[in-house]
């Protein structure tokens, strides 16, 4: 059984962090085993943040794929982290890359990629992609499943 005594958010009532900077990404141990690395995917189809200039909400479909090494990001802490962007003013590019970097900082994965598929602002959808390097040898990387902009749905 996985030791979860260090987790402070899972199974507890936790308020949404005030900002992404104060959100805590918790981890749990992972045993890779033999063979090609596993790819873990998180999909957040209703991500929101605020425009740093107008304060208006921005919406995105975020897809995170990573190949864990010794740690997994605990999903409730990730959900709270993602929710903390709802009151955070930043450009699409900054939000997307910040999410990827924070997960890398917390889990030190073999590899990570993130795609931020942002709904139009001023009539232009903005898609932002970031990854840590080449995907691991032998890993199966499915398509993100997000179509090029045609109403995103």
Annotated binding residue 93: yes
In sequence order, which residues have a C-beta less than 8 Å from that of residue 21 and are 6 or more positions away? none
Is residue 25 within 8 Å of residue 46, measured between CB atoms?
no
Catalytic residue among 3, 44, 51, 65: 51
Is residue 99 within 8 Å of residue 47, measured between CB atoms?
no
Q: Is 58 a catalytic residue?
A: yes
Catalytic residue among 44, 58, 65, 95: 58
Instruction: Check residue 19 and report its DSSP letter.
Output: S
Is residue 129 within 8 Å of residue 51, measured between CB atoms?
no
Paired tokens of 87: 């009151």
Ordered DSSP codes for 36-80:
SPP-EEEEEEEEEEE-TTT--EEEEEEEEEEE-SSEEE-HHHHHH
Q: Is 44 a catalytic residue?
A: no
Annotated binding residue 28: no
Annotated binding residue 49: no
**Residues with catalytic function:** 51, 58
Going by the annotation, the residues of the binding site are 73-75, 92-93
- Residues making up the binding site for substrate: 73-75, 92-93
């Amino acid at each position: 059984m996985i030791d979860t005594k260090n987790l402070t958010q899972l199974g507890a009532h936790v308020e949404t962090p005030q900002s992404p900077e104060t959100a805590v990404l918790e981890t749990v141990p992972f045993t890779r085993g033999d063979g090609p690395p596993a790819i873990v995917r998180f999909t957040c189809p209703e991500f929101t943040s605020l425009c740093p200039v107008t304060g208006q909400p921005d919406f995105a479909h975020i897809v995170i794929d990573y190949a864990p090494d010794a740690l997994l990001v605990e999903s409730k802490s990730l959900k709270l982290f993602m929710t903390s962007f709802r009151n955070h003013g930043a450009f699409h590019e900054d939000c997307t890359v910040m999410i990827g970097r924070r997960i890398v900082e917390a889990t030190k994965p073999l590899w990570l990629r993130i795609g931020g598929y942002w709904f139009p602002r001023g009539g232009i959808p903005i898609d932002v992609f970031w990854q840590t390097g080449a995907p691991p040898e032998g890993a199966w990387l499915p398509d993100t499943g997000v179509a090029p902009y045609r109403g995103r749905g």
